[in-house]
Amino acid sequence: MNEAATWRGRIWRSSGAAVFQGQGGSTNAHTHPAYKLVLGAQVDGPMNREGRCLVVPPGVAHLVSAAGEVTLVYLDARVYDASTAQRLGHQLRLAAGPSDFEALCDDVHRLPTTAHESELATLLSLFIAGARRGDVARCSGRSTSSFTHRVSERTGASPRFWRTWSRVLLAVDAIGRGLTVTDAAHEADFSDGPHLWRVCRSTLGISPSTLAGCHFVFDR
């Protein structure tokens, strides 16, 4: 079964999390700076395989494959920490059956957030918004390499990866609002649709046109 015939379902989006539930399929190898909880699918990658809910850490390349219904939860590593992801994974492993979509979204919405030190969060936000890495580093009185190391150590991803990931999420949300892939690419500052396609495949494992077949629910 090809990708276009799979990954059909509902996607809930908030500023720091996402939930997908529906028909699963296969992905290519991909990496993203979020914790991912996987139920109902096989995951190929270097992580703990125990239990019915697998937790994929940020920055770990992996593939997902499923023949039936699957549930995926994404927790942005800027907003949530490893212990929060593991606790939710434990809760889902203990559940008797498939998670109810609305109830799971409510559970994710209520998760405690972890604010990284305000200075680091501010500097990373400046870089994501387009500031030069050297200029951002100088604002903190650090070298460029020190700033990069600090962000990578605290969040599991480099500043450059966070900028790319933020643009991917902008494009995903634009697609969820009904924009075409080309228009979503331009709104998120990708050069064109094929550029977004390549980056989406490398960070989410599926194409942006596949996302267009899902029903989006946005947190209010």
Interval 59-77: pLDDT, tens: 999 999 988 899 999 999 9
CA distances from residue 24 to 3, 6, 41, 217 in whole angstroms, order as listed = 9, 6, 8, 18
Which is nearest to 19 in space by CA: 115, 92, 116? 92
Sole residue written with tokens 């008797």: 96
Pairwise CA distance, residues 187 & 179, whole Å: 9
Residue 97 pLDDT more than 90?
A: no
Q: Please list the residues that pair with 74 across neighbouring strands.
A: 18, 36
pLDDT digits 0-9 by tens, 181-202: 999 999 999 999 999 999 999 9
132 burial type by CB count under 10 A (0-12 exposed, 13-18 middle, 19+ buried): exposed
Percentage of the residues of the chain whose pLDDT score is greater than 70: 92
Instruction: State pTM to two decimals.
Output: 0.90
